[in-house]
Structures are given as C-alpha cells and as structure tokens.
Amino acid sequence: MTEVESLIPHRPPFLFVDAIVARTDSTLTARRTWRADEDFYQGHYPGAPITPGVILCESVFQTGALLLAGKLAGQGKPSGVPLLAKIENVRFRSPVYPGDTITIDVKINEVAGGFYLMSGAIKNGDKRVLNVDFSVAWKTPEGQVTTPTA
C-alpha cells in the first residue's frame, strides 16, 4: 500500500494522485503522471486525448483529502471519508495530455463549522493548468458504514 492509499479511501481506477511531494500543517504538494492507457482517454477525445477538467479537479480534491487526513491522523486515524461540500472559482488555463506529469498544490485557508475552506492549483512544469476553491468536511455519511481498509 502506498502512502497515498494509506491516507485516503480512493483506489484505482479512481485515484488521481501518485505521490506526496511536500507538506506542512496547512499545505500539501502532490504529483500525478497521466498514463496513455487511462480509460477516459478512449472517449476524451479519440485521436486527440486530453485529460478531462473534471478529473483534474478531482486530483486537486484528492490532494486536499490527503492534507486533511494527515492533519487528522495526529488526532488518531480518521474514520469516515472526505466529503466535497462546495466548488467555486474554477479556472482552466491549459490542457493536460497523456504522459504529462503535474504538480498539485493545496492549502487550507480557513476552518469554519467543521468545514475546511481550501484552494488548489495544478502546474504542468512552469505552466499553470488550473485554480479552484473548494470546501471539504471529513465525516461518515448518514446511512453509510465505513470499514477500515488494510
């Protein structure tokens, strides 16, 4: 199990962070290399594949979950899952292609009422790919029983 998999419940094929590069108490930097054999490239777009913006956003949200899991682990391993509560101010600046390695940066801007207000950005080398603001809560969803994974 990788460090990423030990912190968040996401698993392939819906895991879009390869490794943690750096972290502080309120920031985390991660990395992801996009493989040409990813299923979504078959339909987005055949013959001219581009990483879908929604998948890029998800890689930011998963990086945010990694940051929160690391913070909460100091208080005992967190139960439950990260729940995305709000997305705003998404701005796409340049496309990402199969084979590209991106750097994902997230930071906690504020904590209010159990919600973590965060911002994230992706770069592909020196090129800015996207920026997004989002809010996350870490909890057990009503009606769901979470079980620890090995």
Handedness of CA 61, 64, 70, 71 (dihedral sign): negative
Q: What is the rounded distance in angstroms from the CA atom of residue 72 to the CA atom of residue 94?
A: 34
Q: What is the rounded distance in angstroms from the CA atom of residue 120 to the CA atom of residue 13?
A: 22
Please answer whether residues 23 and 34 qualify as being in contact, where contact means their C-beta atoms are separated by less than 8 angstroms.
Answer: no
Q: Which among 23, 31, 44, 128 is annotated as catalytic? A: 44
Whether 44 is a known active-site residue: answer: yes
Phi, psi values for residue 74, rounded to 5°: -65, -20
* Beta-ladder partners of 128: 123
Give the catalytic positions in this structure.
44
